[in-house]
Structure 1
């Protein structure tokens, strides 16, 4: 294989290679010349790739997994991306290692050192190892900004992509975990049917206390041949409560669907109370009073 053939191969293969692997196709001097010309890039110590791909998630994550010690595995948001659970790869590669002697690494690589041995480790087609999605969520949650944590959990649990119980089992075994208490709380809420940050606020700040004992969450109803799922529902008074976040209710077409759904539910006597993000965040007491007073009024009328 000529040096040109080697470079062509690397450009058609978004992965990383050791110097020994590169020297199977070219001399050490030839590899150095290709690096000098900018055709090959050193991604990590003894991990090289075509400069064309050197900054990609595929190459950086593969290089990290190959460079790390035995027992290492990709984790965090990147492992969730590799599992198809997040739409975009992160800028930082998170690598879980069983032991770590500090050594210089790249600014895009973050090490999580732990004595916890996960029961399951998966392998990508390129040979890189990664933890299971539940443990990846634990690490991603701990690194995520507070404003993003709730949606990170609920986007995965509401679609049954990650089992909250599996997350809890990992947390029970981990000696340390950032955000452990709030992640456990959100896993419990997810198991109780909560599917978004607004519903979380509703469960913890609004639909609590006297008068809400008969409320059920994420209740499914079939009306006129259509299946609807209600954020919260009181069957005794036929009252539905919806928490309308911008992600699912802001677009005109979505608002039209909401209006039509409310009209369909009204044909069997169901009243829908809707609360937007601003009121749920800034006036939870007012929201709670509105729901409680409505339930009491409808109980009196039946």
Structure 2
């Protein structure tokens, strides 16, 4: 490879653009490096050093053969500030869902940007969009649509089994709130399965913070005989702060919904026992139901819950 071109490629950590190269060396130098297999064109005007590509023969697209971080650098060099990562790619940059190598990178741009989709890079042109705050922020050094927009845009691209997890994670990590997501949903009137997303946001606004809690809300801990549970109640005892899944204040009963994986860990079990003992010192009874029972025995769990609550009500206040 020509020495000057080699230095340019090194400065770009293995990536270089045609515009940069042609400012210092003739075009044929770039063509020669590509012909010798030293550089590969991954997008119009964007080239990478061959050693950055993996060698999977089943993957014909050069962009898909790059590590995701390098692929995103290549897309930014091609877009030249005219677009921001969005949809599933934005979820990855927000840390909400890892995008697998080989999935197309998604960008949002203005109607008149002139960008057109390329193999491995899907462009979404939008009206009333600007590539600047507050619509676009910087995450991991890359321009990205704000988290509410990314979550709503990605909803239709995910399978029903995957749809809830990024939204629940975003709310739990305090990247957004159900209220802000509802506002973003108003701007997506044609979104498929819109009703399911609105229901999820309603459950999150009511305090549910996991798929298991949503299941319990919809199938077990509801109905005229059940009290109005408070969800995710913050309790501070000494130096420890805890959040109660479901709390019946009058009965002083805390219902905990134990997930299928985390609570099978002996260390987690020890933490739970210490927590439950601490709550008992202030008169709060902790009742735990495992994932398996909640899913497969909802009616039995419901009857047990009602019986426990009945024993905890003050004399004269018990129902029946």
**Is 1:270 aligned to 2:318, yes or no?**
no
State whether residues 116 and 175 of structure 1, in contact with CA within 8 Å, keep that contact through their aligned partners in structure 2.
no
1:143 partner SS: coil
State whether residues 158 and 190 of structure 1, in contact with CA within 8 Å, keep that contact through their aligned partners in structure 2.
no
2:256 partner SS: strand
Distance 1:287 1:56, change over 3 A: same
Q: Which residue of 2 aligns with 1:110?
A: 122
Provide the aligned length of Structure 1 versus Structure 2: 298
Distance (Å, rounded) in 2 between the aligned partners of 1:223 and 1:33: 71
Could you say what the CA RMSD is over the residues aligned between the two structures, in angstroms? 3.0
Distance 1:38 1:178, change over 3 A: farther
Q: Which residue of 1 aligns with 2:180?
A: 166
Alignment of 1:183-262 (within 5 A): 183-262=197-276
1:73 partner SS: strand
Distance (Å, rounded) in 2 between the aligned partners of 1:147 and 1:75: 21
Distance (Å, rounded) in 2 between the aligned partners of 1:200 and 1:12: 51
Using the TM superposition, name which of 268-277 and 117-126 deviates more: 117-126
Distance 1:125 1:271, change over 3 A: closer
State whether residues 3 and 25 of structure 1, in contact with CA within 8 Å, keep that contact through their aligned partners in structure 2.
no
- In structure 1, list runs of 5 or more residues that go unmatched: none
1:73 alignment partner, one of 64, 81, 84: 84
**Is 1:18 aligned to 2:37, yes or no?**
no
Shift of residue 208 of structure 1? 0.9
TM-score for both structures, normalised by structure 1: 0.84
Shift of residue 231 of structure 1? 0.4
Distance 1:160 1:260, change over 3 A: same
State whether residues 150 and 196 of structure 1, in contact with CA within 8 Å, keep that contact through their aligned partners in structure 2.
no
- In structure 2, list runs of 5 or more residues that go unmatched: 54-65
Distance (Å, rounded) in 2 between the aligned partners of 1:223 and 1:267: 10
Distance (Å, rounded) in 1 between the aligned partners of 2:7 and 2:298: 61
Distance 1:223 1:208, change over 3 A: same
Shift of residue 186 of structure 1? 1.8
Distance (Å, rounded) in 2 between the aligned partners of 1:7 and 1:243: 59
Distance (Å, rounded) in 1 between the aligned partners of 2:242 and 2:140: 40
Distance (Å, rounded) in 1 between the aligned partners of 2:195 and 2:50: 43
1:110 partner SS: strand
Distance (Å, rounded) in 1 between the aligned partners of 2:191 and 2:303: 37
Shift of residue 3 of structure 1? 2.7
Shift of residue 205 of structure 1? 1.5
**Is 1:61 aligned to 2:72, yes or no?**
yes
Q: Which residue of 1 aligns with 2:42?
A: 43
